[in-house]
Amino acid sequence: MGRCSLLSRQFSLLLWKNYIIKRRLWIITFLEIILELLFAIMLLMFRKYIPTEQVASVSYNVQQIANLPSFFQTPANQHSPWELVYVPSNSDVVKNIIKTTQKVLGSNMKARGFSSEQAFDDYIRYHNESSNVLAAIVFEHTFSHKWEPLPLKVRYHLRFSFSPRNTEPIGKLFLMPKEPEGWHTAYLFPLFPLPGPRNHLYSDGGSPGYVSEGFLAIQHALDKAIIQYHGKDNWLIDHVAVNVKRFPFPHFVSDNFLEFLGQVLPLIILLIYSLNVLMIIRVIVQEKEKQLKEYLQMMGLSSWLLRASYFITFVCSFLITISLMTMFFFIKIFNQPILRNSDPSLVFIFLVCFAISSLFFSFMISTFFNKANMAVATGGCIYFITYLPYLFINSRYNQMSLKQKLSACLLSNIAMTLGINLLVKFEIKGDGVHWNNLMDEVSIEDNLSFGHVLGMMLCDSLCYALVAWYMENVFPGEYGMPQPWYFFLKVTLLLTHRH
C-alpha cells in the first residue's frame, strides 16, 4: 500500500511539473488554437462557397457508332490524313476484313499493314507519320499462309493513341485529384466514388472517350466485317443498326467540396498536430540536455513513470485540440456541416488514435538526440517527410494489394491520410463511417477498411514505443547507464527462468 501511495504521489508531482512547463509555453497552445480556428474558418468558407448541387434524374441521348465521329471524317473528294493499321499484313483474309471495315465505316482513310506488332511499335517510335495512325487492329492469330482462314473464335485487340484527340478534359477544382491521362484501363471505377453517374453532363460518357475517340465505331465496324466473313447471308447484318445509350440515373446530390476535402484535410491535421509533436520532442530532449531526467532518477523516479506523465499530459493537450476539431467538423454554421453522414464518436476516436501514434513517434524521435534544437529541427523534417510517400501511393492506390496498403500504414502519417480518404469516400457515397460499417470496404476495388486504418495506427504506436524503449536503454545519453544491445534477450531469459 505504501509503494502504491509513493508512486501515486510521484506521478502527481510529475504531472504538476509538466503542467507548469505547459503553462510556461502558453504561446504554443495559443498558436495551436489560432491555427485550428483559421483552418476551421477556411474549411467552413469553402463549405459555404462550394455548393451542394441537387441534380434531377438524368437521361441521355442515343449515340450512333455506325460512323466515325465528325472530327475524324474527311469529305469523299479529299484525302484523309488518318491511317488504319492492321497486323499481320501477310494474310489476304485480314486485308479483306480491313477493306470491309473501311467500307462499313464509310471512311477513305488509308490502310497500312505490318508483319508483326513489334514492327508497328518501331513505326510508332521512329516515324513522324505515325501521329496519323487513328487505330491499330492486331489479330492474335498466327497465319501460316496468306489464304489461311480466320478461325471462328477470333481474338483481336485495338490500340489507340494514349493521349486523347477528340475528348474534352474534365475540369477539376483546385487540389482535387486528377484522373490519370489515357484510357484508364487499370481502373474499373474512378479514384473517388461518385454519388451519381460518372461525367453526368456528357451523353457519350466523356473521358476517356470510347465514343468520341472512335473506339466503339471501329470495334463495331470490325465485328460487322468479321460476321460478314463467317456468315453466308449478309442481308440481315447489312440492315441492322447498333446504337449505344447510357443508363438513366435517378435524382442525386453532387458535392464537389468532399473531393476537395479529401486532399486538404490530411495536410491540415498534419499541421495542427505538428505543433504538439515538436513541443513534445523539445520538452523531452531539453530535460535530457539539462540532465533533469538523471536528477529525477537519482531521486528514485522510474523512467516509465516519467514517460507515463508525459503521455498523460500531452494526451490531454491533444484531447482539447481533437474536441475542437470534431466540433468544427459536425457543427452546422452555414447550410450544412463539413461532414454530414459520419458518426462523430468514430471520427473522434480516429483522431485520438492518430494523436497517440504521433505522441509515441515524438517519444521515439527524442531518444535519438541529446540537443533540443537539433532534435526539433530533425524531428520536424522527419515528421513531414513521412507524409511524402503518399504522393507516390495516391497515383497507384487502386493497383496496390491490401498487404501493400497496410505496410504503407506503418507510417502513421500515411495511415491518417488513407483514413481521411476512406472517410471522404464514405461521405461521398452518402453512408459515412459508422461503427456498424467499420470493417466494410468502400468499393469492390478498395479492400482497405476504416477499421484496418485504426488498427494500423495503434500498431504504429506499439512499434514506435518499442523503438523508443530499446533506444532509451541502449543509448540513454551522456550520463545514463547503457544496456547491451541484446538486453531484451536477457530480460526474456530472466522471465523464463522465473517462470
Q: What is the pLDDT of residues 222-233, one digit of tens each?
A: 999 998 888 866
Q: Which residue has the higher pLDDT, 195 or 42?
A: 42
Is the domain of 40 the same as that of 100? no
Residues 274, 380 contacting (CB under 8 angstroms): yes
Band (255; pLDDT cuts 50, 70, 90): confident
Is the domain of 279 the same as that of 408? yes
Q: Is the pLDDT score of 174 beyond 50?
A: no
| CA-to-CA dists, residue 138 to 72, 86, 98, 449, angstroms | 21, 6, 11, 41
Residue 401 resides in a domain:
yes
Is the domain of 440 the same as that of 454? yes
Q: 8-25, pLDDT tens digit by residue? A: 776 676 677 777 777 777
Is the domain of 191 the same as that of 310? no
Query: Domain boundary residue among 224, 252, 280?
Result: 252
Mean pLDDT for 436-442 is 91
Is the domain of 263 the same as that of 228? no
pLDDT at 170 (0 to 100): 57
pLDDT at 419 (0 to 100): 95
Residue 58 resides in a domain:
no
Residue 337 resides in a domain:
yes
Q: Is the pLDDT score of 216 beyond 90?
A: yes
Query: Domain boundary residue among 252, 280, 303?
Result: 252
Q: Which residue has the higher pLDDT, 325 or 188?
A: 325
Mean pLDDT for 319-341 is 86
Is the domain of 207 the same as that of 99? yes
Mean pLDDT for 155-174 is 75
Mean pLDDT for 312-323 is 88
Mean pLDDT for 301-320 is 81
Band (57; pLDDT cuts 50, 70, 90): confident
Query: Domain boundary residue among 236, 252, 268?
Result: 252
Residue 153 resides in a domain:
yes
Q: Which three cell numbers stand for residue 27?
A: 504561446
Is the domain of 17 the same as that of 118? no
Q: For the ranges 44-58, 83-97, 239-253, 341-355, which has the lowest average pLDDT?
A: 44-58
Q: Which residue has the higher pLDDT, 183 or 384?
A: 384
The domain of 74 spans 63-252
Q: Is the pLDDT score of 104 beyond 80?
A: yes
Best mean pLDDT range from 46-55, 208-217, 304-313: 208-217
Q: Structurally, how many domains does the chain consist of? A: 2
Mean pLDDT for 460-474 is 89
* The residue to which cell 505504501 is assigned: 2
Is the domain of 127 the same as that of 217? yes
Is the domain of 242 the same as that of 261? no
pLDDT at 173 (0 to 100): 46
Residue 448 resides in a domain:
yes
Is the domain of 320 the same as that of 400? yes
Q: Which three cell numbers stand for residue 480?
A: 545514463
Q: For the ranges 206-210, 238-242, 281-285, 437-441, which has the lowest average pLDDT?
A: 238-242
In the three-class reduction of DSSP (H, G, I as helix; E, B as strand; rest coil), residue 243 is classed as: strand
Residue 416 resides in a domain:
yes
* The residue to which cell 497552445 is assigned: 29
Question: Which long-range contacts link 56-61 to residues 24+ away (Cβ below 8 Å)?
Answer: 56/251, 57/248, 57/249, 57/250, 57/251, 58/196, 58/197, 58/200, 58/248, 58/249, 59/248, 60/203, 60/245, 60/246, 60/247, 60/248, 61/203, 61/245
Is the domain of 358 the same as that of 295? yes
Band (448; pLDDT cuts 50, 70, 90): very high
Residue 114 resides in a domain:
yes
Q: Is the pLDDT score of 276 beyond 70?
A: yes
Q: Is the pLDDT score of 464 beyond 90?
A: yes
pLDDT at 353 (0 to 100): 96
Q: Is the pLDDT score of 63 beyond 70?
A: yes
Residue 280 resides in a domain:
yes
| % the chain with pLDDT above 70 | 88
Is the domain of 213 the same as that of 163? yes
